[in-house]
A and B are shown apart, each in its own frame.
Chain A
């Protein structure tokens, strides 16, 4: 575990920069992480982030397929909003763990 200053606060993150404690996440933290990824949050970004957090809290695995069926966004848009590995980037920004790829 490491500490990182995000939005002028000390936040616990793992080696890849993912938040360890979701309680430390808020919109300000979110915007700072997005900024580091060169992403400016729009309404659509927030909608996706909320969808991902909701899935995570229900312990439902996240996948590109899930995005397709989410009703929130289609996959092309998803790639457009979070360029370069959209699931990895969007979960980082949403303050939830990187989806496990090992299953």
Chain B
């Protein structure tokens, strides 16, 4: 009997357990998955928690429910990986593996920025990338009286790169609805040179910021949070004052990756971007946010990767060459407030484009254009996530690789 071990039962790990439970021959392979946490969170829902759009119950379920019965599920802390001896040490036992899949994800690391976790943390400074942070922010917003709201990204890469911008859009709607938009000044601060992470998006969508009167500060590399002055300060001593700071701290891979010596500066694992094989060890594969591949850290990416990785694991067990298949495909809804959303579809090479999705000319979803239908799509996605995606059921008509059908290549990036 051979052992396939999956580390992490988040979005990517759970999908792999489901895919492989169907595909790996049970007489030869035992699949084990390890995760210290009981709860599986629907992370895209964290965006809606602060605005009282979703309740706590809508974004969490017991993780075990999504792991197939044939898979051995261990709830323990991961200490470290020993790639030379093909072993993983947990808090009180050591597991052997023939194939290892690392799906330990990424998480916020507020301690990386001076002053972020100072006296104002969770009083006037919040994150919404954790369940606790999103709830604390919800409670703050419920009776906040207004002032300077600064929405801020510390550094790239981050999970779901469009979420902070969506937060700013939803905040605009939220305060309008409460009849206090005139009391709130919203500023969006980014280390990038535009609001969107992709130049074509910035060009096509900058009007949204103007329309919603959101000020933007670009190329801002934060040095520290000045708790006394209530301001964020960058390396050229520029200060942006805030009354309420909603920040996306540095995102990093799991500490277990650092302890194992497998990660880069941010504890992300150097991974072949088309096969998802670990660069340093052939029998280790990496999926989702844990990789260093230049794709978005997002559930949709993990979903598309899972299909390629499943095929590659099967090929690997049979001694065949791996498919150079994964193209960086990401497909993201962007909430723009007032019950509308955008949809973008892109990959490593191709920037987001106009057109329809998933069917050429028919849609029904429109790419890079705001619509109510896209917003419904985003809300419906929560159901798809719990009921299809995690269980490894393919979403009909949405392929793992980006399709060029029904897409219009009409936006050129700016010359700078």
A interface residue numbers (CB < 8 A to B):
15-17, 60-61, 63-66, 69, 75-76, 78-79, 84-85, 88, 100-103
Contact = CB atoms under 8 A, between A and B. Distances in A.
B126 to A, nearest CB: 23
| Secondary structure call for the B interface | loop
| Interface hub of B235, B292, B294, B295 (most chain A Cβ within 10 A) | B235
B223 interface: yes
Given A85-B219, A101-B197, A16 B415 contact: yes
| Interface hub of B155, B265, B295, B413 (most chain A Cβ within 10 A) | B265
B266 interface: yes
B413 A15 contact: yes
A16 B296 contact: no
Interface string B400-416: 00000000000001011
6 contacts: A61-B264, A64-B155, A75-B223, A103-B156, A103-B157, A103-B294
A61 B292 contact: yes
Contacts of B197: 101-103
Nearest to A66: B265
B191 interface: yes
Nearest to B194: A101
Q: A-B pairs with the 10 shortest C-beta distances?
A: A103-B157, A102-B197, A101-B192, A103-B294, A79-B235, A15-B415, A64-B221, A16-B416, A75-B235, A102-B198
A56 B256 CA distance: 27
Contacts of B155: 63-65
B111 interface: no
A85 B193 contact: yes
Contacts of A88: 193
B156 A101 contact: yes
A103 B296 contact: yes
Nearest to A70: B265
A40 to B, nearest CB: 20
Contact of B221 (A66, A75, A102): A75
A20 B297 CA distance: 27
A85 B235 CA distance: 11
B161 interface: yes
Contacts of A79: 235-236
A84 B238 CA distance: 12
